[in-house]
Structure 1
Amino acid sequence: MKVDIIKIGNSKGIRIPKALIDTLGLEEAVEIEIVEGKIVLSPLTKVRENWEEAFRADPPAKDEGLLMGEAPNEFDHSEWQW
């Protein structure tokens, strides 16, 4: 599909046909990147989207604790007031 580059203020842009916007589920914003010399537009994903389902699918092990264990230092013994 051919689209013309148009002037938008001091910039240039293209009009994306409504049918493409609807097909891709684009809303108010898109992710734009260059991949192998091509401009790729993707629907903008929400931060942490689907995390809840991922955590339910892989619950933490019962013995899961600190990965590094405790890391005491000189401050803990000499400077800290309990």
Structure 2
Amino acid sequence: MMKANIISIGNSQGIILPASVLRQLNLSFKSAVQVEVDNGTIVIRPEPRLGWAKAAEEMRAEEDDKLLLDDSPTDFEKEEWTW
């Protein structure tokens, strides 16, 4: 958990997120995020890349979202790997 103070940013207020948090979320300067309040908690989520959500919906509608490789374990994996 991280503690942050609310600061003035122009005519608004905000918080500064540490670079380590941004790296964990694969965000950088000017990355888009979604902000919402959920039961008294501020939730910040990375926004999907522009156009990706629509492209994924179109692929699903056209049934073009099937796996390219079989997801079943191979004989090698079954026999040689220890789980």
Short-chain TM bin: 0.5 to 0.7
SS in 2 for 1:31: strand
Are 2:36 and 1:33 equivalent residues in the alignment? yes
Instruction: Mark the runs of 5 or more structure 2 residues left unpaired by the alignment.
Output: 67-83
Partner residue, 1:14: 15
Aligned length: 58
**In angstroms, what is the RMSD of aligned CA positions?**
2.0
Instruction: Mark the runs of 5 or more structure 1 residues left unpaired by the alignment.
Output: 59-82
Q: Highest Rg: 1 or 2?
A: 1
TM-score under structure 1 normalisation? 0.58
Give the deviation of 1:44 after TM superposition. 0.7
Structure-2 separation of matches of 1:6 and 1:57: 44
Partner residue, 1:56: 64
The Cα offsets for residues 14-53 of structure 1, whole Å up to 9 and x where unpaired, read as: 0011111110122411011111111111111134142354
Partner residue, 1:2: 3
Structure-1 separation of matches of 2:21 and 2:65: 34
% of aligned pairs identical?
36
Give the deviation of 1:8 after TM superposition. 0.9
